[in-house]
Structure 1
Amino acid sequence: MGIVGHSMFDQYKDLIFSLSDNDEETLKSETFLLERDEKKQIEIYYAPFEYINEKAKVVLVGITPGWYQMRQSFSAVMSSDPQWADEKILNEVKKRASFSGPLRKNLITMLDELQLQNHLGVTSTGELFGEANHLVHLVSILSYPVFYKGKNFNGATPNILKTEILKKYVLQNFTKEITSLNHPLIIPLGVNVLRVLSVLAESGDVDQRQILKGFPHPSGGNGHRHRLFAENKEAMKQQIEQYFRTYGG
Structure 2
Amino acid sequence: MLEASFRKKLWHFTLEIKIKSDNQIVVLWGPSGSGKTTVLHCLAGLFNPSSGSIRINDRIIYSSEQNINVPTRFRNIGYLFQDYALFPHMTVKENVLYGLKSRSGNNALSAQEPMELLNFFGVGHLVNRYPRQLSGGEKQRVALARALVVRPELLLLDEPFSALDKRTRISLRHELKNLHRRWQIPFILVTHDEEEAEFLGDEIISLEKGKSKKINLLRTTRS
Give me the TM-score of the superposition, normalised by structure 1: 0.28
Of Structure 1 and Structure 2, which has the larger fraction of its residues in strand?
2
Of Structure 1 and Structure 2, which has the larger fraction of its residues in helix?
1
Give me the TM-score of the superposition, normalised by structure 2: 0.30
- Structure scoring higher RCO (CA < 8 A, sep ≥ 6) equals 2
